[in-house]
Structures are given as C-alpha cells and as structure tokens.
Amino acid sequence: MAIELRKINKIYGTKSNKFMALEDINLTIEKGEMVAIMGPSGSGKTTLLNIIGLMDKPTEGTYMLEEEDTSGFNNLKLSKYRNKNIAFIFQNFALINNETVLDNVVLPLSFRKLKSGIKKKIANEAIEAVGLSDKAKNKIKELSGGQKQRVAIARAIASDANIILADEPTGALDRNTGRDILEKLKQLNQKGKTIIIITHDISVTEFCHRTICIEDGRIVEKEAISI
C-alpha cells in the first residue's frame, strides 16, 4: 500500500478552545490508485491532504507512508521524503509568474544531484508530455489558466514523485479545460502514480477509482467507482 491512516485526529487550539479538524480518520490508499476526496468547505479535506503530503502532522494516530511510520520522521527527514516522493498541484498553480515554463518545471529537480543539462532534458520531456513545448521559453504570466495547470502537471512529471496530491486542480478552469487536465492526471495514474484529488466537482469522480466523502472532519462514505 502507498498510504495508511489509522485513527488520525487533528486538533487546533487549546484545551479550553479546541477545534477538531479531523476525527478518527481510518483510510488506506493502494499504490496506483486514483482517489477523489469530496466534501463541503471547512470539512477537513485540505487538512487531510496536508497530513498525507507531510505538510502537517496529526495530533493523534498513525500515518504509514510506503510502509514507514512517519511519526518517527524528524523535520529534515520529512522534508527530504516529501521532496523526493510527493508532488503537489494547486488550484492557484503555485508557479513563479516572472520565470519561464522551463525554469518552473526544472525547480523540483534542484533537490537532485544532476547536471544542469540533464535537469533541462528531464524538464523539456515533461513539458512535451503536456503539450507545451512551444511555450517552454514563455513566462508563466503569459499563459492561460489551463496552460498554467499543465505546467504544474509537467512539474509533477519532472519530479518523478510516486504520489501526486492535487487540491482543486480544475477549480479555476472551464469545463473543457478541466477535463483535459483530468485526462493528463489519468495518464500519469495509468503509469503507476498514486493520485489523490481534493475537489468540489462531481465530474472529477468519473476519472477516479474511488470517492471518499468527508464531513465535519470525519469520513462519511467510501465509494468505489467502476472506470
């Protein structure tokens, strides 16, 4: 399995004024699954994604990632593991607007001990995979929303992460562009990547093996979908 959460709680605040963001989360996601996590705003979806992505730690419970107990990771190991194994795709793209497409896609490779020419080769291949070779030298601010999201996917491809976490990747896009982005993510999934998508968009579930519904910090439904 890629991911296993056991009795995860996430509490913010103090004893006298605490907020339970996640409560008794038990969840297993197998390697190579593509999973949608749905729920209303404030339900705990993003908190769950941040814990899965090692951006935050649970208050209680066990998080097994690639069969390793992450509670034993110090901050340095968390950072190294995240940079090597996990890629993020955000609704707001999280790109550097004044840099080129190529520079943005090369960025995650800065953590790897590779020659500059090899890094650029990997990045250019990733850019080609999302159909943006003709935009490689363009600055991000010159691109459309759909093109920016494809750059974010290219960055995930270049990182060669085993797990891709996408937070509302189609939220800022029109329907047709959104489906194009989901097709690109599905292609990555078919190559063995584990993909988890936070979404409000029910159409995203068409591309996923399972949909997990979360409400008030608790998982209320786990639905398998035939695709």
What count of residues does the chain have? 227
The domain containing residue 79 runs over which residues? 3-224
Helix ranges (DSSP H) in the chain: 45-52, 75-85, 101-106, 116-129, 145-159, 175-190
**How does residue 227 score in pLDDT terms, banded at 50, 70 and 90?**
very low
| Mean predicted confidence (pLDDT) in 185-204 | 93
Please give the backbone phi and psi of residue 118, each rounded to the nearest 5 degrees, phi first: -65, -40
Number of domains in the chain: 1
- Give the global pTM: 0.88
pLDDT in tens, 3-40: 999 999 999 988 788 999 999 999 999 999 999 999 99
C-alpha separations of 26 from 5, 7, 109, 159, 195 in Å: 5, 5, 33, 29, 18
What's the CATH number where 89 sits? Answer: 3.40.50.300
Residue 1 is predicted with a pLDDT of: 66
pLDDT (tens digit per residue) in 110-122: 878 889 999 999 9
CA 208 to centroid of chain Cα atoms: 14
What does residue 61 show for φ and ψ, rounded to 5 degrees?
105, 180
Give residue-wise pLDDT tens across range 57-89. Answer: 999 999 999 888 998 899 899 988 898 899 998
pLDDT at 108: 86
- Least reliable range by pLDDT among 20-24, 188-192, 199-203, 210-214: 199-203
What whole-number distance in Å separates Cα of residue 59 and Cα of residue 73? 15
